[in-house]
Structure 1
C-alpha cells in the first residue's frame, strides 16, 4: 500500500450522515448483470500517482485479453479521494472499479455500493487471511486484495554503533526495546532512542495485539480497550515518553516523528512497508538505516496487516466487466507487475519476492515474515465514529493529562456507545 494510506483511519471521509446518503442511492436489487456486449470503457479510480504506471500496465494486460474493454484510470489524491467517492457514490456516478481501504469498506459494503466478487473465480487461499477477512462482509467477499503492508522497526545503524548497542534482531522483546531506547538517548545532543508516536497502525495497534489484547472484536461490535492487555499495549509507548527515551507528545506534535528519525534525532521508528522505497530514495539516510522485526510482547510480535482492495461498483452499467477487471487487477499477473515496481507488496501469495529483491540493501523479508502472526487492521461498520474518539482521548493520555488507565476506561465507554449505535 502506498504511503498516503499509512494512517488510514486518520483521513476517513465518511460519517453516519454519509451512510444515510449512500443507503439512499444503493440498489440492492435490479443491479446490472451479464456481459454488456460491444465496446466497453471502464473507469478505474485510484489515489496514488506513483502507482499509475503499474496500473496502466495492468490495464493493458487486461485489454489484451479482452479487446473490447478499455480501462480509463482516474487518479485522485488520497486527501480528496474518499470525499470525492462519497459524492460520486451518492449521486450514482462512482467509477466502475475503484480502490478501497479497510476503514471505509464496511460502510460501502453494508449500503449495497459494492458488488460481491465470490463468483469471479477469486481463490481466497491466494491471499493473506487477514486481508480476506478485512474485505469480507456478512460472509461475502466484496474486495479483491491488491497489496498489503505490515509493520517493522527501522533503525539508524550509525546511532546504534556510536552507542555500542546491538542492532534489533529476530527474537528481541519489549524489554530489549526499552533497554536499547534508553541507551540510545542522549539529552545533551537532543537525541532519543525511539519515537513513541500516537500512531495506531504503526505503534499501539501492534503492541495491544502483542500484549494479547485487541482494539475491537472480530465481529466489530465490542471494544477491546477495557482490558489489561490494551493498557499494557498503550503503556509501552507512554512509558517511553515518561522515561525520556522518546520526545514528548508536544515535541512529536511540533515536528513530524518521521522527520526526527530521518534527521538522526531518533534512533528507532516503527513504520510500514511503504517506507522502504522512500528511505532508499532519501540520499541523507539511505545507507544509514535498516529494518528489523517488531519486538515481542507477552503474546508475541504481531503486526497489524492492512492493504488496498479492488472493488466493483454494484451500480456499474458494465457490472460483469467491472467485476472481472477487479479480480484481474488483484490476480497473479497484476501482482507480478506491481512487485517489479518496488512500491508496494502485492497481496497475491508467491509474488512478494520481487518486492523484497527490488531493495536488497534492506532486510525487507521481515515484512513478509510478519504475515505469519499478523492481525487485521481494526474496523467496524462506521470506523470513523470511534477513531475520532480514540484520537481525542489518547491525545490526552499521550500528553500526560490523563493516566492511561483512566483514559482507556473513558475511551472504552465512549467507543462501545458508538459501536452499539452501529447495531441499531
Structure 2
C-alpha cells in the first residue's frame, strides 16, 4: 500500500540527501556474524500494527527451527518509517531485517545497504514475476516478496439498487463505468457515482496501462507521460470530474476521497486489496459493498501490482542469520500464517486461497485473478525525485487550472530531467 502524502517541494531535496546519507552508510559496518550455536538476537523492522501478530508468529516459527535465534520486532508507523530507517542506516543502527517497498528499493540497493539473497534458495517461480522484478537490482535479488496488492473496483450495492443500475462485472468497459457513474450521481443528495481521486496506485497508474501506456519504461530511465496513451489514462479521471460524476478536486482535498465512499456519498471507489479487512470491519458499509474487476480500457483491465519485500541489512553484525530470516519470512510457511489473518495477500504462489476464504462475503478472487495481466508498480533508482513532480503537476490538472495535455507535457519533460539526473 503506497497512497501516502508527499511533501512536494521538499521531496527532491530529501531524496538527494537520502542518497548521500545512504552512500556514506555503505562504507561503514563490520558485517560480522555470530558463530554456529551462538545465541543471537536480530531485529525486524515493520510498519503495520495490524500485521504485527502475524509477524510475531512468523518470528516464533523461525526460532523453533533456530533455537539460538531470537527475533525482536520493531514497529514504526509508516509516516515515520523511512525517515527513521534513513537515520538508522546512516548511524549504523538499522534493523537486521526490515520491510522495503518498491519506490525506495533501488535507492537502498544501489547504495550497498541491502544484502543479496540469491544464496538463500529462493525460487523466483514461487512468486509473481512482477514482484521478483521489483526487488531485483543489477541482476541480483535483494528483496524476498512477502505479500502483494492489486487493485479492484469496490461498489455500494445499496446505491446501485436504488438507482436501478446493474452491478459492475468482468468485461465492463470505461464507457460502462462512465455511464454507470452518471446514473448513480444525484446532486440533490450530494451523491456521486465515483471518486476520481488523484491516486496513482489505485487510479491513474492502472488506467494508463489499460490505455496501452506506461508511467515509466521497464529500465526505469524514460518517462511515459508524453504519450497519447498516458493522456487517455489521465483523462478518464478528469473527464469524470468535469462531468460531475465525481467530487471536485477541492472537495477531495478537503475530505479524504475514501470517506465519501465510507459515508455512502460515492457509489464506486477503486482500492487495493488491503481495503478488504478494513471494509469488513466497518459496520456502516460492511454489508453494503462488494468488489469487482477493474473496467477495461483499450488494452484490457490491467492492475498495478505492488508488495512488500523482506530485506537484510548488509551491515548487520549477523548478516547470514538476517538473510536466512528474510527468506524464511517470505517462505510458504510464513505465507500461510499471513493468509489466515486476512490482512494481506501472501506473495508465495498457492497460498492466496486462505486470504480469499477469510472474507467469503466479498468476491476477493478478483484481486488474485488480476495477477494474470498485472503490471509492475512504476519505480526508478530514485523514485521520490519524480513522484514529487508528478504530484505537483497533476494536482493542477485535477483542479482544472492546467489542461491534461499541457500538464502531461510539463510532467514528461520535468520527470525526464529528474530521471536523467539519476544516471549522472
Q: TM-score per shorter chain, which class?
A: over 0.9
Q: Residues 344-390 of structure 1: CA distance to partner in whole angstroms, max 9, x if unpaired?
A: 00000000000000000000000000000001110111111000000
Q: Distance in 2 between matches of 1:6 and 1:359?
A: 23
Q: Which runs of structure 2 are paired with 1:21-100 in the superposition (5 Å)?
A: 21-27=21-27, 31-32=31-32, 35=35, 37-100=37-100
Aligned residue pairs total 420
Q: Residues 370-416 of structure 1: CA distance to partner in whole angstroms, max 9, x if unpaired?
A: 00000111011111100000000000000000100000000000000
Q: Residues 282-333 of structure 1: CA distance to partner in whole angstroms, max 9, x if unpaired?
A: 0010000000000010010000001101000000010110000000000000
SS at match of 1:59: helix
Deviation at 1:92, TM superposition (A): 1.0
Q: 1:36 to 1:422 in 2, by over 3 A?
A: farther
Deviation at 1:130, TM superposition (A): 0.6
Q: 1:35 to 1:181 in 2, by over 3 A?
A: farther
Q: What residue number does 1:203 align with?
A: 203
Q: Is the 8 A contact 2:158 2:288 kept in 1?
A: yes
SS at match of 2:290: strand
Deviation at 1:32, TM superposition (A): 3.7
Q: Is the 8 A contact 1:35 1:320 kept in 2?
A: no
Deviation at 1:147, TM superposition (A): 0.4
Q: Which runs of structure 2 are paired with 1:90-239 in the superposition (5 Å)?
A: 90-239=90-239
Q: Distance in 2 between matches of 1:165 and 1:273?
A: 24
Q: What residue number does 1:7 align with?
A: 3
Deviation at 1:254, TM superposition (A): 0.8
Deviation at 1:86, TM superposition (A): 0.2
SS at match of 1:233: helix
Q: Distance in 1 between matches of 2:129 and 2:209?
A: 17
Q: What residue number does 1:381 align with?
A: 381
Q: 1:184 to 1:272 in 2, by over 3 A?
A: same
Deviation at 1:7, TM superposition (A): 1.2
Extract unaligned runs of 5+ from structure 1: none
Q: Distance in 1 between matches of 2:236 and 2:264?
A: 22
Extract unaligned runs of 5+ from structure 2: none
Q: What residue number does 2:312 align with?
A: 312
Q: Is the 8 A contact 1:128 1:371 kept in 2?
A: yes
Q: What residue number does 1:364 align with?
A: 364
RMSD: 1.5
Q: Distance in 2 between matches of 1:37 and 1:104?
A: 35
Scaled by the length of structure 1, the TM-score of the pair is 0.97
Q: Distance in 1 between matches of 2:232 and 2:5?
A: 22
Q: Distance in 2 between matches of 1:366 and 1:96?
A: 36
1:417 counterpart = 2:413: no
Deviation at 1:33, TM superposition (A): 6.2
Q: What residue number does 2:396 align with?
A: 396
Q: What residue number does 1:253 align with?
A: 253
Q: Is the 8 A contact 2:107 2:382 kept in 1?
A: yes
SS at match of 1:15: helix
Q: Distance in 1 between matches of 2:37 and 2:376?
A: 39
